[in-house]
Amino acid sequence: MLTDRLFARSARSAGSSADSSPSRWHHGPWWSNSYLLTPLLSILVFLVVMSLILWSLNRREQQQQEDTLYRNVAWAQQQIRLSMTGAQEQLQALSRDLVSGRADPHSFQVSTADIMQGHPEILYMNWYTSAQQPRWPNNALPGLGQRLAKPNDQQMDEAVKAAFAEARNTRRQVYSPLMYDDVGNGYITLQTPVYRDRDFLGTIAAVFSIEGILKRDIPPELSAKYKISIIDVNNRELATTSTRPRLPRDAYYDLPLDPPGQGVSVRVYAYPQMTNFTNNTLVWLVAGLSCFVLWSLWSLWKHTRQRFEAQQALYAEAFFRRAMENSVLIGMRVLDMHGRITHVNPAFCRMTGWDESDLVGKNAPFPYWPRDSYPEMQRQLDMTLRGKAPSSGFELRVRRKDGSLFHARLYVSPLIDSSGRQTGWMSSMTDITEPKRAREELAAAHERFTTVLESLDAAVSVLAADEAELLFANRYYRHLFGIRPDGHLELAGGGSFDSSAASSDSIDMVDAFAGLPAAALTESTADAQEVYVQGIQKWFEVRRQYIQWVDGHLAQMQIATDITTRKQAQELARQQDEKLQFTSRLMTMGEMASSLAHELNQPLAAINNYCSGTVALVKSGRTTPDNLLPVLEKTAQQAVRAGMIIKRIREFVKRSEPKRQATRVADIVADAVGLAEIEARKRRIRIVTDMRSRLPVIYVDPVLIEQVLVNLLKNAAEAMHDARPDAVDPVIRVVVRLDSGFVCISVVDQGPGVDEATAERLFEPFYSTKSDGMGMGLNICRSIIESHRGRLWVVNNVESDGHITGATFHCSLPIGEPDGPSNGGSEAPTPQTVTGEL
Ligand code: ADP
């Protein structure tokens, strides 16, 4: 209940007021004590007033008691005085009687007996003469001294004597001072002077017992109420009505008994009163009640304190929950069992834009339902109320107050109260617009990615490393190989990765990650490999890489790009190259045709001469076989020479597939020089060959290398002739040497050399400085040499004075079998700058 109120209160005072409230509660517990202060104060006032009343009552009572005591003391005093005065008067009368009447012992005895009867306190009476002698001896007055205890005679004498003297002098009755007997009883003697006119006849002495006075003269009602004592000047108790020892707190009152007493006082003690008991009871009652009230107040305070603390804790808890609810980003909504909204948190309001008042108490359709999806929302609500809401929640669209929509996910759970009873349904709502957008974007990106992958003209496939299972294959792969892993294996080169290879060492190592860092594996990129797949007659450039598949396992990804067309183009280019080379050779031959014809003409003319001579000799009949034989041998030699020339030409220009074979460098050089010489000789240029006798075998196409050398020699001869046609003994040197795994053939001419501009463009196709030049020669030469993994370059021959004496074309070729171990991977030596700069 309290919590409800708290929540209601908190809900009302949301925002800034909600912030200020806790501090009020936390820092202001003054009220909890102040409301206790009032009863405490009233109790104190009550106590004070009660104490005052009791005190004044007590005081009054004491006053009354004192008054009563005083009155009673006065009364007792008066009684004693009266009695004493009575005795005095009787003694006075007796003295007068004695003077006027007969003075015999009998009558005196009768009179004294009368008086003593009336005053039992008088213990002894006698008539003393003026000489202080008893008028009659004791025996003459029997019984007079019997009632006297044992007065100290001497003491008595002194006291009596003093009183006697005073009475005689003053002619008045005089009391003697107090006398004591052995046990401490007090006595007083009254001396009554007896005068006949002027004659002093003595005194009548009467001894009063103090105790007797007390017993005789105090009325019994007084002695019943009070303890009455007679005390002397030394505060000694001479007689008392009660033997009860005096209590220290008993109140008493003294009144002097002068003149008879001579320092004797009457003291009255008040017995403790009944009223005191009532008073005390009242005091105790009040005190007890006050204590009870104080205890009640204390327990009330304690209870309130506990309650206050509990309340504080509750407030703290409530505000904590409130703060939590306010700061939480998830919208929360509570429905009762009938589907009515009973609570929404601020996040829900923020999300939807609807105020709490717009939502709380509303039944379906709720304001945030989009109008076009009422049936769907109603269906979801019905499911919720039936307890059939899916645990994964509902995905729904929510209409904000401004009409905009957003996507949300709503989770529903039953709301159970403290007694374990379900009171409604708690729903939590999260705005999933952003995640949904991200997901959609992701999906779109995935789709784009898939589309790209799918529409790729390359077969992309991923194969599990440990088992030959195809994990992914794009459309092109599926188009070529279906969904079988065979295609992947075939592209992998058959043996390098197949299902059996999965158990081979390499894959085992990869699969088990046995010492192989998978990360490093996945990072390593394999070189592209060209693979021809027989089944579908296609060329592929295959790149493969080990990757970590989504499930963490190692997989091999393979991207096979179809390069069949490229391959075909390459083949075409190669064929065209061949054709070009062939054409180039034909052209070279064409250019050399006249020289060749002239060269052929010589042996043929010689053969003709020899044959004509032989015919003439045979016709003359002067011939003998011995004469004919040398001529015929020479003829045959010339025919062989012509045949050699024709063979060289034929071999040079024959069209054949490029074929590498083990060839001796000397043969190539000799053939090339042999052909080039024919042309050079026409220009009177010598070709000098400089090579070691033992040269290694190289694996080249001899016709092509010969073509290169012929071309270089022809260019050298042309350059030399063009530059210095009148040169004396021009020489072209062909130098062959070995250079770290390469055979370097250099053609050194004595031409003009190559200037810088020409050197840059020398090997470009169709670059020529000659009017009839095609400019294809050096370009073809370089492509031939490079296809043999060699290099072709030019440097100028420079004299020490900087004078250029010609150009040298270097051509280096690797020794050993192509891709063989001797030169595998090695490059042609870098051209050394032996001569000036180019
Ligand atoms: P072409 O001989 O048809 O001109 P090449 O490709 O054989 O075509 O030669 C290209 C050019 O290189 C020549 O035009 C010439 O200028 C230059 N050249 C070739 N060899 C030499 C050389 N030994 N000395 C000077 N220049 C040369």
Residue with the bigger pLDDT between 750 and 836: it is: 750
Q: Atom 2, ligand 1: which residue's CA is nearest? A: 773
- What distance in Å separates the CA atoms of residue 834 and residue 739, rounded to the nearest whole number? 14
Q: What is the distance, to the nearest Å, from the Cα of residue 459 to the centroid of all Cα atoms in its chain?
A: 49
| Lowest model confidence (mean pLDDT) among 50-64, 443-457, 504-518, 799-813 | 504-518
Q: What is the pLDDT of residue 833?
A: 36
> pLDDT tens digits for 196-230?
888 888 888 888 888 888 888 788 888 787 888 88
> How far is residue 650 from each of residues 54, 605, 678, measured CA to CA in Å?
161, 21, 15
The Cα–Cα gap between 644 and 642 comes to 5
Q: Which atom of ligand 1 is nearest to the CA of 762?
A: 12
Is the predicted pLDDT of residue 143 greater than 90, yes or no? Answer: no
Nearest residue (CA) to ligand 1, atom 19: 715
DSSP 619-651: HHT---HHHHHHHHHHHHHHHHHHHHHHHHHHH
Q: Which of 707, 708, 724, 768 to mutate to test the pocket of ligand 1 (most atoms within 8 A of CB)?
A: 768
pLDDT at residue 154, as a whole number: 67
Structure tokens at 500: 């059996």
Distance separating alpha carbons of residues 811 and 704, to the nearest angstrom: 13
Sequence-separated (6 or more) residues with CB below 8 Å from residue 630: none
Select from 587, 683, 709, 715 the residue to mutate for testing ligand 1; criterion: most ligand atoms less than 8 Å from CB. Answer: 715
Q: How many residues does the chain have?
A: 838
Tell me the per-residue pLDDT of 793-823, one tens digit each, with 9 for 90 and over: 999 999 988 899 999 999 999 987 765 444 4
CA of 756 to the centre of ligand 1 (A): 14
How many whole angstroms from 757 Cα to the centroid of ligand 1?
Answer: 13
Question: CB under 8 Å to 311, separation ≥6 — which residues?
Answer: 2
Report pLDDT digits (tens) over 769-786. Answer: 888 888 888 998 998 999
**819 three-class SS:** coil
Q: What's the alpha-carbon Rg for the chain, to the nearest Å? A: 80
pLDDT at 43: 75
Share of the chain above pLDDT 90, in %: 14
Q: CB–CB of 192/203 below 8 Å?
A: yes
Report the share of the chain in percent with pLDDT over 70.
84
pLDDT (average), residues 188-202: 85
> 181 or 562: which carries more pLDDT confidence?
562
**8 Å CB contact between 821 and 814:** no
Q: What is the pLDDT of residue 84?
A: 84
Residue 598 Cα to ligand 1 middle (Å)? 25
Cα(714) to centroid(ligand 1), Å: 9
Distance from the alpha carbon of residue 765 to the mean position of ligand 1, in angstroms? 11
Q: How confident is the model at residue 156 (pLDDT cuts 50, 70, 90)?
A: low
In whole angstroms, what is the distance from residue 562 CA to residue 481 CA? 13
Q: Give the pLDDT score at 147.
A: 45
> Checking DSSP bridges between strand 686-691 and strand 731-739, what pairing results, if any?
parallel
Closest ligand 1 atom number to CA of residue 770: 14
- When the pLDDT of each residue in the chain is averaged and rounded to a whole number, the result is 80
Q: Is the pLDDT of residue 689 over 60?
A: yes
From the alpha carbon of 806, which atom of ligand 1 is closest?
24
pLDDT exceeds 90 at position 468: no
pTM > 0.75 = no
State in Å: Cα 477 to ligand 1 middle.
51
Ligand 1 neighbours (beta carbon < 6 A): 715-716, 719, 749, 751-752, 754, 758, 762, 767-770, 773-775, 777-778, 807
Ligand 1: nearest atom to the Cα of 779:
6
Does 314 or 155 have the greater pLDDT score? 314
At residue 8, the pLDDT reads 44
In this predicted structure, the answer to whether residue 130 has a pLDDT above a threshold of 90 is: no
pLDDT at 785: 93
pLDDT attached to residue 790: 93
Residue with the smallest CA separation from ligand 1 atom 16 is 769
Q: How far is the CA of 720 from the centre of ligand 1 (A)?
A: 11
pLDDT of 22 over the 80 cut: no
Ligand 1 center from residue 795 Cα (angstroms): 13
CA of 545 to the centre of ligand 1 (A): 48
Of the listed ranges 136-145, 349-358, 522-531, 602-611, the one predicted with least confidence: 136-145
Q: What is the rounded distance in angstroms from the CA atom of residue 642 to the CA atom of residue 602?
A: 8
pLDDT computed for residue 272 by the predictor:
64
Q: Encode 638-671: b = buried (16+ Cβ within 10 Å), e = exposed.
A: beebbeebeebbeebbeeeeeeeeebebeebbeb
